[in-house]
Amino acid sequence: MVDLALGSRPRVPARRMGSVTTTLLSIGEFAARSRLSPKALRLYDRLGLLAPARVDEATGYRWYRADQAERARLVAQLRQLDMPLARIAEVVELPGPRAAEELAAYWAGVEERVAVQRALADRLHDRLSGRRRKLYEVKLCDVAEQVVLTERRHLLSDELPRWIPAAFGRLERAAAECGGMTGAPFVAYYAEVSEESDGPAEVCVPVADAAAAEAYAAASGRGSGAAVRIEPARRLAYTRITKAQVAYPQILSAYEAVEEWVGQQGLTIDGPCREVYFEPDWDGAGPDEEVCDIACPVA
């Protein structure tokens, strides 16, 4: 279908709505009113974001109602936020308060992604410039023996963001039936987890009642991966990082800092290194809030 841009064009149609007759706007007039180009309006039509009020069957010429301009501007403004068109299609169909919530959720994700990228850019800048900036403060702490309910799995780094929260959720719900949690949950790594290496990794939730934990693991069956073990008392060298720094591969620099510090102190790593997630409200934490300790057992 082709819209006429120059020369003669079809007569302006009118549409009767109840007792009121509404004159429709040509695509050029509507483009001027909505501050969008005819090309953008045709694209939004094809994507189902903004259909014309009428399309002439003979010429393909598009006509719009004046009150469609508000939706057109909303679509354009959401695109200025780099919101994907598929998500825009969902937002514009929601009532105002729901649309506002969806926009807030989208923008929180953008800010978190930018914080992650900023942390990575800072790390790369320091590496490329040859400057070594002290980003992490490493300390020692002692952790008592714990009973831990666990799930262990071989997986690659891009699978961790989905698996870790899901496993924590399962084990934390189970902990409520095992006397409650007695410490911060953590993820232990028994070998490298990267794009090529699959670990394994182990999600651990400390619980109070060992017998109840054993019963849960037995009832869950072997396929679930649930198990119970005693985590021995350990001395940990650790550094605290923000939510943005947790993202892979930025998190590797925190591990490197701890491992370097351990060597400088004349200590040795004595067990699987781990991420200790002490912030209970992960979703509510901002990208610059401290949420996690990167820790290595030392001797």
Domain assignment of residue 268, yes or no = yes
Question: HSE of 289 in the Cβ direction (CA atoms, 13 Å)?
Answer: 12
Q: What is the token pair recorded at 195?
A: 């794009």
Under 8 Å between Cβ of 296 and 273 = yes
Sheet holding 146-153, edge to edge: 138-143, 234-242, 290-297, 273-277, 186-189, 201-207, 146-153, 226-231
Shared domain check, 191 and 72: no
Domain assignment of residue 249, yes or no = yes
Q: Give the model confidence (pLDDT) of 96-113 as tens digits.
A: 899 999 999 999 888 878
Position 134 pLDDT exceeds 80: no
Shared domain check, 184 and 267: yes
Under 8 Å between Cβ of 295 and 238 = yes
Domain assignment of residue 64, yes or no = yes
Shared domain check, 209 and 82: no
Question: HSE of 179 in the Cβ direction (CA atoms, 13 Å)?
Answer: 16
Does the pTM surpass 0.75? The reply is no
More confident: 34 or 132: 34
- Cβ count within 10 A of residue 77: 11
For range 112-125, the mean pLDDT: 78
Domain assignment of residue 277, yes or no = yes
Shared domain check, 286 and 185: yes
Residue 208 identity: A
Shared domain check, 155 and 85: no
Position 5 pLDDT exceeds 50: no
Under 8 Å between Cβ of 182 and 217 = no
Domain assignment of residue 282, yes or no = yes
User: Mean pLDDT for the chain?
Assistant: 86
- Cβ count within 10 A of residue 94: 13
Quote the CA–CA distance of 59 and 27 in Å, as a whole number. Answer: 13
Shared domain check, 252 and 154: yes
Domain boundary among 69, 91, 113: 91
Domain assignment of residue 60, yes or no = yes
Domain assignment of residue 259, yes or no = yes
Domain that holds residue 37: 14-91
The per-residue pLDDT for 10 is 54
Shared domain check, 155 and 291: yes
Output the domain CATH number for residue 218.
3.20.80.10
Quote the CA–CA distance of 191 and 110 in Å, as a whole number. Answer: 32
pLDDT > 70: percent of the chain: 91
The per-residue pLDDT for 13 is 57
The per-residue pLDDT for 7 is 42
User: Can you give the three-state secondary structure of the chain, one letter per residue?
Assistant: CCCCCCCCCCCCCEEEECCEEEECEEHHHHHHHHCCCHHHHHHHHHCCCCCCCEECCCCCCEEECHHHHHHHHHHHHHHHCCCCHHHHHHHCCCCHHHHHHHHHHHHHHHHHHHHHHHHHHHHHHHHHHCCCCCCCCEEEEEECCEEEEEEEECCCHHHHHHHHHHHHHHHHHHHCCCCCECCCCEEEECCCECCCCECCEEEEEEECCHHHHHHHHHHHCHHHCEEEEEECCEEEEEEEEEHHHHCCCCHHHHHHHHHHHHHHCCCCECCCEEEEECCCCCCCCCCCCEEEEEEEEEC
Shared domain check, 268 and 174: yes
Shared domain check, 278 and 158: yes
Output the domain CATH number for residue 64.
1.10.1660.10
For range 33-58, the mean pLDDT: 86
Under 8 Å between Cβ of 171 and 180 = no
Domain boundary among 62, 91, 120: 91
Shared domain check, 283 and 199: yes
The per-residue pLDDT for 6 is 40
Domain assignment of residue 57, yes or no = yes
Shared domain check, 264 and 204: yes
Shared domain check, 242 and 174: yes
Number of domains within the chain: 2
